[in-house]
């Protein structure tokens, strides 16, 4: 569903890409949905400004909130599967395949898990860092038997396109 034009059914918040500034969009505002991945929506509004609308505001776009069947058992694979549902708001690629996850450490104590993620961004000045960090925290905290999630944004080593999976580089025409 790309480039679908809709008018907002109610006021909602939208985060400007890449600055990270939050705006309030008014009911009736015409927008173009350019990307719907990982539960959030990338849209253009106004004079072509790229913005991100969260899944919690799907109804403002005329969609029902997505409900997925919750997993019942914890596994490391489940953690990686959840990380692959977090997408860069500007390009249709998840943060794992982009090579933004530098480490994922899982500790277990009495059947509950703590998860520490070190991740980076494609550009150090990206204003979307808090949105991506919050996505990771929210999605991992929703897993069974997870007590705590800590996400640290790091820039050493700096991200390069070589960190992307080969499949994604080919898909984007970068190889």
Domain chopping of the chain, boundaries: 4-61, 76-171
Phi-psi region of 156 (alpha: psi -120 to 50; beta: other; left: phi over 0): beta
Q: What is the CATH number of domain 4-61?
A: 2.30.30.40
SS3 track for 12-77: EEEEECCCCCEEEECCCCEEEEEEEECCEEEEEECCCEEEEECHHHHHHHCCCCCCCCCCCCCCHH
- Which pLDDT does position 154 carry in this prediction? 95
- Which pLDDT does position 109 carry in this prediction? 94
- Which pLDDT does position 66 carry in this prediction? 64
Place domain 76-171 in its CATH homologous superfamily. Fe-S cluster assembly (FSCA) (3.30.300.130)
- Which pLDDT does position 68 carry in this prediction? 62
3-state secondary structure of 161: helix
pLDDT in tens, the chain (175 residues): 467 889 999 999 999 988 889 999 999 999 999 988 888 899 998 778 899 999 889 999 998 876 667 778 899 999 999 999 999 888 889 999 999 999 999 999 999 999 999 999 988 888 888 889 999 999 999 999 999 999 999 999 999 988 998 888 888 888 6
- Are 39 and 64 in contact by the 8 Å Cβ rule? The answer is no
Residues in the chain: 175
Pairwise CA distance, residues 152 & 117, whole Å: 6
- Which pLDDT does position 11 carry in this prediction? 95
- Which pLDDT does position 39 carry in this prediction? 82
Whole-model pTM: value is 0.82
**With 0-12 CB in 10 A as exposed, 13-18 as middle and 19+ as buried, what is 8?**
buried
Read off the tokens for 49: 């400004």
Half-sphere exposure for 77 (CA within 13 Å, toward CB): 2
- Which pLDDT does position 48 carry in this prediction? 83
């Amino acid at each position: 569903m790309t480039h679908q034009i809709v008018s907002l059914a109610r006021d909602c918040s939208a985060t400007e890409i890449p600055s990270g500034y939050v705006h309030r969009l008014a009911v009736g505002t015409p927008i173009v949905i350019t990307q719907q991945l990982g539960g959030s929506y990338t849209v253009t509004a106004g004079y072509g400004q790229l913005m991100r609308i969260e899944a919690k505001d799907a109804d403002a776009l005329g969609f029902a909130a997505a409900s997925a069947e919750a997993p019942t058992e914890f596994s490391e694979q489940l953690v990686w599967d959840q990380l692959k549902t977090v997408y860069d708001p500007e390009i249709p690629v998840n943060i794992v395949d982009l090579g933004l996850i530098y480490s994922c450490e899982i500790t277990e104590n009495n059947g509950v898990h703590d998860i520490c993620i070190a991740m980076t961004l494609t550009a150090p000045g990206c204003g979307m860092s808090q949105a991506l960090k919050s996505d990771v925290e929210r999605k991992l905290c929703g897993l069974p038997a997870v007590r705590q999630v800590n996400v640290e944004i790091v820039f050493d080593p700096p991200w390069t396109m070589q960190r992307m999976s080969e499949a994604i580089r080919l898909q984007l025409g970068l190889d």
